[in-house]
Amino acid sequence: MKTLIPSIKGTRDFYPEDMARRNWLYEKIRQVSLAYGYQEYDGPFLEKIDLYAAKSGEELVKEQAFVFPDRGGDLITLRPELTPSLARMVSQRQGRLVFPLRWWSFGPFWRYERPQKGRTREFFQWNIDLIGPNSPEADAELVAIAAGFFEATGLTPDRVAIRVNNRKLMETQIQSLGIQVAKRQDVFHLIDRRDKMDPQAWEAYARERGLENSQVRGILNLLADSNLWQQSAEMQRFFAALDALGASSYVHFDPAVIRGLDYYTATVFEAYERAAGGRAILGGGRYDNLVSDVGGAPVSAVGFAMGDVMISIVLAELGLLQEGIGSGARVLVTVFDETRLAAAYLLASDLRRAGVNTACYPEAVRLEKQLKYADRMGMRWVLISGPDEEARGLVTVKDLKEHTQIQLGYSDLAQVFRGMLALERAV
RNA sequence: GUGGCUGUAGCUCAAUGGCAGAGCACUUGACUGUGGAUCAAGGGGUUGCGGGUUCAACCCCCGUCAGCCACCCCA
């Protein structure tokens, strides 16, 4: 006990209260995903490194993936993202699957990064994708799902927002400024960095990239134009669909949203906390080369990913994350003394068989201690049976919340508890 | 990978280079069959680890480890 082996850097221990929060988050994600008709799936947690080399950015695989050789010498990767596995799964059954696919997943991922606020090395991520159709309406559906999730967790539009842009729109605009196609990635990168640098440094950086003053000014004008979306028929359809889906209050057009990832091809979006310095909560967009990158026929897809760490921080700061989860049971059977241990276990067992989650104190210690235990574990009812109760065939039922206690006949207990638990759930 | 801050009781934190403390929690009792409240007593520490300076180090210096935060990056 003297030398504790520390946990791996960037991992988290999930104590029961943490696990309760994680499950709560999972449940919200699940409800929203199912509401839109999405099916849950998952891929392996381990993949060959080649799967990522085919598609992901270099940084992700070379710098940030956990990679190790297996006993046969193959390089194995703890999955840093799900999309390549998804691409393979779709590709393998491309002829058999019924499109459009609506798939979602929530599972662990690993990235070898320096931990900081909102970032760990082991985290959970919600992935959700609509695969097959290539339409602005499909894009709107994914954004509406993100908005629906926020709504379900109590995050109102004044706290979080989703900004949307379209890379094709931006490409057209950039071209009309007389910037060659070859510099497109540079310009995207430039736009992405706009609010991370001070204006002068940004302009100097732009000129280093070979942009003329007029072009830099042109880009700045684009970024200031909140009506730019009206020049894109796709974006007009997108916002019309979003309106129909009832998600508009969370969403606005923002020409500065580009997303770092190279594989996005059209719509891109990200959700962020409105508070000062609010970081990105989720991000996604349309990517058209999903399956062809792993060797299948081209399929278009739109989707997003949300890590559990940042959203949990945001929810916790606003007091929206479920707190104070106690024992799984609401009922504790106390043990009056050594001679009544078996009787207590029998009582608890009978209640369980009747469908009431029940814990029994496992040793005959002072009643005071058992009551305190129930209280601290968040159990509401305590059953006591000593000589007095036994003589009359009754059991004392103490309600720790209401500070009341009554005596019931042994055979009535199960039914009464089912009623009380149902009543409690209804409240 | 770069930089900053912090490591003291189970927890949150004090302590001019001079006896290592408080609150909460825990144990026991006031109260031999009843939780949260009150009171009293008690148990608890290699001050992250290793070295150095000093008569004397939680305090100063060097190293190291860990945590947090920012940069980088963001699938």
| Token representation of residue A358 | 């029940």
Nucleotide nearest to A374 (CA to C1'): B35
A339 CA – B71 C1', rounded, Å:
66
Q: Where are the beta strands (DSSP E) in A239-365?
A: 251-253, 267-273, 280-287, 300-307, 331-333, 358-360
Return the closest-CA partner of residue A174 out of A194, A190, A197: A190
A3 CA – B51 C1', rounded, Å:
21
Q: Check residue A60 and give its pLDDT.
A: 64
Nucleotide nearest to A371 (CA to C1'): B35
A421 CA – B37 C1', rounded, Å:
28
How far is the C-alpha of A78 from the C-alpha of A185, rounded, in Å? 29
**Going edge to edge, which strands form the sheet with A66-69?**
A46-48, A75-78, A66-69
Angle at A19 between CA A344 and CA A111, to 5 degrees: 150
Q: Check residue A57 and give its pLDDT.
A: 55
A297 neighbors A291 (Cβ within 8 angstroms):
yes
- Classify the complex by whether its ipTM is higher than 0.90, answering yes or no: no
Nucleotide nearest to A368 (CA to C1'): B34
Q: Check residue A4 and give its pLDDT.
A: 65
Q: Check residue A392 and give its pLDDT.
A: 92
Q: Check residue A10 and give its pLDDT.
A: 86
DSSP assignment letter at A246: T
Angle between helices A167-176 and A213-224 (to 10 degrees): 140
Nucleotide nearest to A337 (CA to C1'): B33
Nucleotide nearest to A12 (CA to C1'): B67
Nucleotide nearest to A116 (CA to C1'): B69
Residue nearest to nucleotide B69 (CA to C1'): A116
A65 CA – B31 C1', rounded, Å:
61
Residue nearest to nucleotide B34 (CA to C1'): A368
Residue nearest to nucleotide B2 (CA to C1'): A114
A161 neighbors A193 (Cβ within 8 angstroms):
no
Angle between helices A233-244 and A136-153 (to 10 degrees): 40
Q: Check residue A263 and give its pLDDT.
A: 79
How far is the C-alpha of A153 from the C-alpha of A163, rounded, in Å? 19
Q: Check residue A2 and give its pLDDT.
A: 42
A363 CA – B40 C1', rounded, Å:
29
* Nucleotides on chain B within 7 angstroms of protein Cβ: 1-3, 26-29, 33-36, 66-75
How far is the C-alpha of A357 from the C-alpha of A170, rounded, in Å? 58
A154 CA – B14 C1', rounded, Å:
40
Nucleotide nearest to A264 (CA to C1'): B75
A323 CA – B5 C1', rounded, Å:
30
Nucleotide nearest to A80 (CA to C1'): B75
A298 neighbors A313 (Cβ within 8 angstroms):
no
Domains of chain A, each with CATH number or no CATH = 16-317 (3.30.930.10), 331-426 (3.40.50.800)
A21 CA – B20 C1', rounded, Å:
38
Q: Where are the beta strands (DSSP E) in A245-380?
A: 251-253, 267-273, 280-287, 300-307, 331-333, 358-360
| Token representation of residue A402 | 């209401």
Mean pLDDT, consecutive 10-residue stretches, chain A (427 aa), reads 68 85 93 97 93 65 81 91 92 93 96 87 95 95 97 94 94 88 82 78 82 87 91 96 96 88 86 81 88 82 94 86 68 92 94 93 88 88 93 93 91 92 82
Angle at A35 between CA A97 and CA A301, to 5 degrees: 40
A213 CA – B4 C1', rounded, Å:
37
Residue nearest to nucleotide B36 (CA to C1'): A375
Nucleotide nearest to A334 (CA to C1'): B34
Residue nearest to nucleotide B48 (CA to C1'): A3
A45 CA – B68 C1', rounded, Å:
29
A303 CA – B27 C1', rounded, Å:
56
* Coil vs helix vs strand at A202: helix
